[in-house]
Structures are given as C-alpha cells and as structure tokens.
Amino acid sequence: MEEEKQKLGKRITPRDAAQVPGSVADGLNRSERVASVSIGVKTFPNSADEQEHSGKSGHDLRVPVINMRGRALMPTTAKKARHLLKNGKAKIVGYAPFCIQLLYATGETIQKIVLGVDAGFKHIGWSVVSATGEILAGEMELRSDIKRLLEKRRQYRRLRRSQLWYRKPRFLNRGKEDWLAPSIEHKLQSHIKLIDRLKAILPIAEVVVEVASFDTQKMQKPEISGVEYQQGELQGYEVREYLLEKWQRKCAYCGKKDVPLEIEHIVPKSRGGSNSVSNLTISCHDCNQKKGNMTAAEFGSPQIQEKAKKTLKAAAFMNAIRWKLVNMLGCGYTYGYITKCNRIKRGLEKSHINDAFVIAGGDTQERSVTVQKGKQVRRQNRSLYKANLLKGGRRKRNTVKEVKGFRRFDKVLYGKVKCFIFGLRSSGYFNVKTIEGEKVSDSVSCKKLTFVERARGRIEEVKRAIPPRAEARGLLAHN
C-alpha cells in the first residue's frame, strides 16, 4: 500500500514541457487508474440502528426522509431516524438506500441539493451534495451481458424458424428513428432510472452530468486552428484528454497500456517543434526517454507524424449517450477535463464517486463515510427448456425460479453475513456470495438462510468507504 501511494504521488512530466511549479499542470501527467470503491471497503450493516452504533467520527450516514404525501424532505441523521422509528413517528420504506417516511404532517425547509453523475459504460458514479456536506454517494455497476444474451437468443430463434415453415421476409419494421442498440439503450435507461430513484427520496434541485472528456465544439480541428499545450491550466487538461482519446490511451511508439503516459513532442522543441496539437503524441516514460532528441521518423515511427496531422473522428460513442441523457433530463452538464482539473486541485484520487462529487460542485464539504454500492443483475431467464437435449432426446427444464421462497440474487443473512444467492438449486442448497463476488459458501442449506430483500434487477449494499482525502491516507498506512 505504502509503495503504491508513493508511485502514484511521484510526478512524471514530459521531458521538454514547460514546468510551472505549484501549478495544477503538474498533475497533468499523473498516472490514471480508477480506484474502485471495492478496494478497501468493509461490509457494513444495513439498518440505521446498526450503522449508528458502528459509526466513527465524521460525516456519517444520512437517512433520506419523505413526508406523508410521499415528497422528499431534507435527509436526517441516523440517530434522529432511529428515534423517529422507535416512537412510531416514521416507517421504513427502503433499505438501499435506507429511507424512512414520516407518519405525521410537517413543514418543509429545503436547501439546494445537487446530484452529480459520472456517466459511464460500465459504472455510474453518483454523489448528492449540499452546501454543507455530501449526503449520499454510490456506484452502480452496469450489466454487460445484454449483447451476448440477445445474440444467443437470436441464434435459437433463427434455428427454430428455419425448421418450421416459410415466412415472408419482414423488413423495414423498425420504425423508431432514434433507435439505439439494446445494450446501449439499457445503459441510458439505467442512468435515468437511477436519477429518478434518487429524486424520489431526496429533494434534488439540480442534476449535473459529465458529457464528454473535452468540448468537441471548442476543440474542433485543433490541428488546424493551432490549439496549444500549456496555454492555461484548463487548456492543458483539455489537450491531454484530447490526445489520450486520439491515441487510444496507449503509448504511440510501443503500444503499452496502463502505464503512466506522457505528452511527447513528435519533433522535439529543441529542434523547433511546436506545442501545437499536431506535433504532440502520447508515449510511455521509457519510449520518451529513449527517443530523446530524435524526431518520430528518426526513432523509427514515421507513421506517427502522419497520424498526428489527422483530426480525431467524431468523439466517442459514449459521448452521444451522455448528450442524449442531458437532453432527456434537461439537466446541467460539464466536461471531463474540468472535473479532472478540480479533482486534482482538491487532492482526490480518481474514482467514479470522487468524480461525481466534483461534478456536483463538491469542494471542501465533508464527505459521506458510507457508499451505496450497487450491481445490476439479470432478472429471470425466460426460456422454458435448456438448449441442449439430454440423452434420449429429452428436454430439460431450464431453471428453477423459486425454491422455498428464495429467488436468484435475493439478499440473505447467513449467520451474521449479508450475502446474495448467486446459485439457486432445486435441492435447496445454494451458492452464496458477497456483492463483489467473493465466495461465502458453495452449498448452504436454505434452512440456514434468512431472507432480507428481493433483487429487482439490481443488488445493493452499503459499504464504508475509506475517507478519500489526503489526511486520511496517513491513517491507512498504519493498518
């Protein structure tokens, strides 16, 4: 852990880049690895009662409150929520996040609350921030099996139909104009659902989504308009993001990935090379060192010179999705280079939740110590029979839907461990795992399990996140 921190902390700047001491531009070439919240989190009990007792100092869990008519009020503390529940003044309406509904009429004072969304292909990071603190934060892992499953279904369908009868070919029956592939549509809907779910329990005044890593309008043809590296702080970030995107986040010379990448001048500055984007590429530290004072052509990569002159084709696919999201919600938006700049200014590490916190305008507010970690899971498999026949041509029933009241991905209590049913068997002996997929038991009798919550397309758990600020890192080292 200690070593890792030092490695991350070490600044690596391009050999021939102008250095501004103390500037955030120092952070430009810092290596980027997403530290998922799954690293170093502990399982954390789900009821406000338990949470209060195990609480450390700091901004602990906030409990969303809705009034009698179902409108969201300002969230309360776990202590207050426990008190209300004990006195019969409120009831529990949800567990992930833990949420209560008041049973008496009350006035409402509402502060400005902003939801920041780090929209992504595999993960959604979100953070709800008020002027005084981060109220709730979380991360949702999206499904990535949809494309594969639909292709499989299509194959079966084709086979089935080819064996049956002749059908007139049908075509041009896809009316929708703004059609998206089902896997992409699902990602878009997942973002919308998550935002709606949070809006229902928190009085969110504003939603901000990060739409792209850089402003494509402003960055149009920078190779021709001559945008330069190091003009200003934000400019530097934007150029770097642009270059990373253009060179696919790998070293242009050796193709190495997942190493700290540096901005590199194709024709060195010492030999009259400019700072303009058409003279910049991305390389690993070793290649940058080895290339030294040579041009790319002299270093044995003449094609790089050619590629650098071309502009980046229409920005990534995901950007289109994010824009669609913004248009559908009519919400605010920001750019990745701004997020990155602010995140580094505030000394936060790269994670989906930290990004969301910064997107929401988070600055010096106290961070939430707990994190809502979610993962989407598939619902029921609807095919009736297994595709492969048994010996003798018998067809085998596909899956069991329910055994003794348990379903797949139900949250259950095994002893004191909260876990999820990953393997449901008709024998009544199940495979249970934690949300991260760590094995709890391969085969446990359902008699030893206590039902907690149905999955409903996603599984969720409250986790204690390691405080992300720099001061907290010192504490970590002693563990």
Positions that interact with Zn ion (CB under 5 A): 251, 253-254, 256, 284, 287
- Residue 286 Cβ vs Zn ion, minimum distance, rounded to whole Å: 6
User: In the structure encoding, which two tokens stand for residue 447, read together?
Assistant: 């008699």
Task: Give the closest residue to 305 by CA, choosing from 249, 276, 266, 273.
Answer: 266
User: In the structure encoding, which two tokens stand for residue 293, read together?
Assistant: 């004072």
User: In the structure encoding, which two tokens stand for residue 99, read together?
Assistant: 């949420």
Whichever of 196 and 286 has its CB closer to Zn ion, that residue is 286
Whichever of 253 and 406 has its CB closer to Zn ion, that residue is 253
Whichever of 33 and 396 has its CB closer to Zn ion, that residue is 33
**Beta carbons of 423 and 431 less than 8 angstroms apart:** yes
For residue 157, give every residue at least 6 positions away whose Cβ sits within 8 Å of its Cβ, in sequence order, or none.
none
**Beta carbons of 340 and 106 less than 8 angstroms apart:** no
Whichever of 279 and 354 has its CB closer to Zn ion, that residue is 279
- Residue 28 Cβ vs Zn ion, minimum distance, rounded to whole Å: 18
Whichever of 155 and 289 has its CB closer to Zn ion, that residue is 289
- Residue 19 Cβ vs Zn ion, minimum distance, rounded to whole Å: 22
**Category of 212 on φ-ψ map: left (φ > 0), alpha (ψ -120 to 50) or beta:** beta
461, with CB counted inside 10 A (0-12, 13-18, 19+), is buried
Whichever of 286 and 438 has its CB closer to Zn ion, that residue is 286
Whichever of 250 and 324 has its CB closer to Zn ion, that residue is 250
- Sign for the CA dihedral angle at 50, 1, 14, 303 comes to negative
- Residue 245 Cβ vs Zn ion, minimum distance, rounded to whole Å: 18
In which order are the strands placed within the sheet that holds 429-433?
439-445, 429-433, 417-423, 411-414, 449-453
C-beta neighbour count of 463 within 10 angstroms: 22
- Residue 247 Cβ vs Zn ion, minimum distance, rounded to whole Å: 11
How far is C-alpha 301 from the geometric centre of its chain's CA atoms? 36
- Residue 316 Cβ vs Zn ion, minimum distance, rounded to whole Å: 23
- Residue 283 Cβ vs Zn ion, minimum distance, rounded to whole Å: 5
Whichever of 254 and 400 has its CB closer to Zn ion, that residue is 254
- Cα–Cα distance between 303 and 128 in angstroms, integer? 47
- Residue 406 Cβ vs Zn ion, minimum distance, rounded to whole Å: 52
Task: Give the closest residue to 264 by CA, choosing from 236, 297, 232, 287.
Answer: 287
